[in-house]
């Protein structure tokens, strides 16, 4: 199988990830709930992952690394704490449903920065206008899961720093690929990410970098933490304030191994590899005039395309028959498609990882061109 759906999940992981999960399954239990060897081992594994993540993202206090089930869970924690009905909230034009649905659930209709694909300068200009209109909270998708368009984080964050407006950053498609240093921008209140994409960890893992103390004060869930068990109220310190129930210790152990891999290779090298494959893939498709690629800059290793006269789902189904794994449709991000003008058709998405190769990308391009000709 040629796997090119890494924007959903990086299927192929470093061997160390699988080994770490297996070891934890058999040797770690009772996290924060016992003084025996297996509980101590669980504590070491979890804290070790906090330290790995803190080092990767420039977080001074590892306690601010909060483990979640996925990026959606992390975003819900941050939005629950910071987004209140009646607030003026602005979002980028390429947000995922993991942002838009929690806002809708709270009766919040945000202002949307409606800017064309690849227009980073226009996005900054719209952000400036939103701040002038009284925006109190900003939520930004760092990299579009549909198009790989990288938002101008530094420029927008600089505006928010100057205005004193907090930012929730959705790093679902950037963590592990695009360098993020939380020390650069005081406006960063929360950074949310999955463990199973660019961090090469197992599914069922995620991270919230809880940088604003208001998040600590407004937990989404309450329950057992292994600390202050005599108190009826949730602990008010991190990470316990936001981590109720037994954590996914085997998953977190695997995530630590994935983050160690990313740190060893370097996010900049992973990004360069994926970008090179995406560029070669686009060039290989130029021979088929019916294929419309959404390619520009700044762009990561994610590519959306359409085939004129063919439904996107049909293209994906035919590729699946040829053992090429991609995703078609709206990708849980109808706002992104609305902004880009592809809402009626959707797109077929190809997304590369560090384990993708030039040979498999070339083979996938050949199979796509043959599919288009045959249909």
- Per-residue pLDDT, averaged over 215-241, amounts to 95
- Per-residue pLDDT, averaged over 345-361, amounts to 98
Reading the block at residue 1, the tokens are: 């199988």
**In this structure, are 342 and 297 located in the same domain?**
yes
**In this structure, are 214 and 308 located in the same domain?**
no
pLDDT at 364: 98
- Per-residue pLDDT, averaged over 34-46, amounts to 96
Label the pairing between strands 65-68 and 2-3.
unpaired
* Structure confidence at residue 275 as a pLDDT band (50, 70, 90): very high
pLDDT at 123: 98
pLDDT at 70: 98
Q: Is the pLDDT of residue 31 over 80?
A: yes
CA distance linking residue 71 with residue 89, whole number of Å:
20
**In this structure, are 326 and 304 located in the same domain?**
yes
Q: Is the pLDDT of residue 358 over 80?
A: yes
pLDDT at 374: 86
pLDDT at 23: 98
Range of the domain at 355: 2-10+267-374
Percent of the chain with pLDDT over 90: 99
pLDDT at 229: 94
Q: Among 265, 282, 309, where does a domain finish?
A: 265
Q: Among 238, 265, 292, where does a domain finish?
A: 265
* Structure confidence at residue 27 as a pLDDT band (50, 70, 90): very high
- Per-residue pLDDT, averaged over 331-336, amounts to 98
CATH number at residue 278: 3.90.1150.10
**In this structure, are 100 and 236 located in the same domain?**
yes
Q: How many domains does the chain have?
A: 2
* Structure confidence at residue 375 as a pLDDT band (50, 70, 90): confident
* Closest to 222 in 3D by CA, of 211, 210, 231: 231
- Per-residue pLDDT, averaged over 248-252, amounts to 98
**In this structure, are 226 and 344 located in the same domain?**
no
CA distance linking residue 242 with residue 197, whole number of Å:
22
- Per-residue pLDDT, averaged over 49-57, amounts to 98
DSSP assignment letter at 266: -
What pLDDT, in 10s, does the model give residues 146-203? 999 999 999 999 999 999 999 999 999 999 999 999 999 999 999 999 999 999 999 9
**In this structure, are 161 and 243 located in the same domain?**
yes
Q: Could you tell me if 89 and 139 are in contact, meaning their C-beta atoms sit under 8 angstroms apart?
A: yes
CA distance linking residue 359 with residue 301, whole number of Å:
16
**In this structure, are 158 and 55 located in the same domain?**
yes
Q: How far is CA 38 from CA 17, 45, 63, 220, 227, in A?
A: 20, 11, 21, 29, 18
**In this structure, are 227 and 277 located in the same domain?**
no
Calculate the average pLDDT of the chain: 97
Q: Which residues pair with 310 in a beta bridge?
A: 307
**In this structure, are 26 and 151 located in the same domain?**
yes
**In this structure, are 131 and 68 located in the same domain?**
yes
Helices (H), the chain: 15-27, 37-57, 71-82, 97-105, 120-132, 153-163, 213-216, 249-265, 267-285, 312-321, 334-340, 358-374
**In this structure, are 208 and 284 located in the same domain?**
no
CATH number at residue 90: 3.40.640.10
* Closest to 30 in 3D by CA, of 42, 12, 19: 42
**In this structure, are 340 and 204 located in the same domain?**
no
Q: Among 265, 283, 315, where does a domain finish?
A: 265
């Amino acid at each position: 199988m040629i796997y090119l759906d890494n924007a959903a999940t990086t299927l192929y992981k470093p061997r160390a990830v699988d080994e770490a999960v297996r070891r934890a399954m058999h040797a770690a239990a009772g996290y924060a709930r016992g003084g025996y060897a297996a509980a101590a081992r669980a504590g070491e594994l979890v804290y070790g992952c906090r330290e790995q993540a803190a080092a990767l993202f420039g977080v001074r206090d590892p306690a601010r690394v909060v483990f979640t089930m996925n990026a959606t869970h992390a975003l819900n924690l941050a939005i629950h704490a910071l987004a209140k009905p009646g607030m003026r909230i602005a979002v980028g034009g390429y947000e995922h449903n993991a942002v838009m649905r929690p806002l809708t659930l709270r009766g919040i209709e945000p202002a949307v920065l409606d800017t064309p694909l690849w227009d980073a300068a226009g996005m900054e200009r719209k952000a400036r206008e939103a701040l002038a209109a009284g925006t109190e909270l900003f939520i930004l998708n760092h990299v579009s899961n549909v198009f790989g368009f990288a938002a101008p984080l530094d420029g927008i964050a600089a505006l928010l720093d100057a205005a004193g407006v907090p930012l929730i950053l959705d790093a679902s498609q950037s963590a592990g690929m695009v360098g993020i240093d939380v020390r650069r921008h005081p406006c960063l209140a929360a950074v949310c990410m999955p463990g199973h994409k660019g961090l090469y960890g197992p599914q069922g893992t995620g991270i919230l970098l809880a940088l604003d103390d208001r998040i600590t004060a407004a937990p989404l869930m309450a329950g057992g933490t292994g600390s202050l068990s005599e108190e009826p109220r949730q602990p008010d310190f991190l990470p316990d304030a936001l981590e109720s129930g037994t954590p996914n210790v085997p998953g977190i152990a695997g995530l630590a191994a994935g983050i160690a891999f990313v740190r060893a290779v370097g996010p900049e090298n992973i990004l360069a590899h994926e970008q090179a494959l995406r560029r070669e893939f686009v060039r290989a498709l130029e021979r088929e005039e019916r294929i419309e690629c959404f390619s520009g800059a700044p762009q990561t290793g994610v590519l959306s395309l359409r085939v004129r006269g063919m439904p996107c789902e049909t293209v994906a189904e035919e590729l699946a028959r040829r053992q090429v794994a991609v995703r078609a449709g709206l990708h849980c991000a109808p706002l992104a498609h609305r902004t880009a003008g592809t809402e009626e058709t959707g797109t077929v998405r190809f997304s590369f990882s560090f384990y993708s190769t030039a040979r498999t990308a070339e083979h996938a391009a050949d199979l796509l061109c043959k599919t288009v000709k045959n249909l």
